[in-house]
A and B are shown apart, each in its own frame.
Chain A
């Protein structure tokens, strides 16, 4: 299975720029997607195909990368962005998720 590695946690202040990384154990082309999960809620789609912003998602969120290295950027960060962010690949079977990066807003 394709393993997706994310840093476990980050803490930033409102207004700052934050980058959340996701590294795949093998190439996933650009079939990498990002989800936000706030405490007690279901995940929501933020970015699909590495860099496409889901409808309704603020333009503060952006994604980049291809192959094995991907980044989700939030600029500027707001207090409401407190959540866990998951990357997920759909290039290789089975689909797999990263372990999540918990973002704390100071």
Chain B
């Protein structure tokens, strides 16, 4: 069973940094592109970015590129999201997701498994 479990969320002061983790199990993590999506309270989904299998390609939505850094550790089956200079607008649930791979083709941008999310609140 594919399982993605986010951790590291919580209350953080404006201007500070926070690093989220996403522990993956039940599939061959190092074969998959992975991504992050967030959802502000009562709002829709916002794509943050994605990373390929060996971390040689990392794509971000432009508005977050200078604040957020996506990385991964294939030996630990873990995806990370480093967030800096946090503001109230970054208050959200942060989801990690795997990109659909049917064993032959990668379906870029199609997120077929999601974690339960990590809640981040930015407030003084």
Interface, chain A (partner B; CB < 8 A): 31, 33, 35, 37, 41-45, 48-49, 54, 86, 88-90, 93-100
Q: How large is the interface on B (under 10, 10 to 19, 20 to 34, 35 or more residues)?
A: 20 to 34
Interface, chain B (partner A; CB < 8 A): 37, 44-47, 50, 59-62, 95, 100, 107-112, 114-117
Docked Cα-Cα span, A89 to B47, in Å, equals 11
Q: Knowing A93-B59, A94-B61, A94-B62 touch, does A45 contact B46 (C-beta < 8 A)?
A: no
SS class of chain B's interface: helix, strand, loop or mixed?
strand
Task: Tell me the number of A-to-B contacts counted with CB atoms below 8 Å.
Answer: 57
**B47 adjacent to A42 (CB under 8 Å):** no
> Which A residues lie within 8 Å of B117 (CB)?
42
A48's partner among B37, B44, B110 (CB-CB below 8 A) is: B110
**B100 adjacent to A45 (CB under 8 Å):** yes
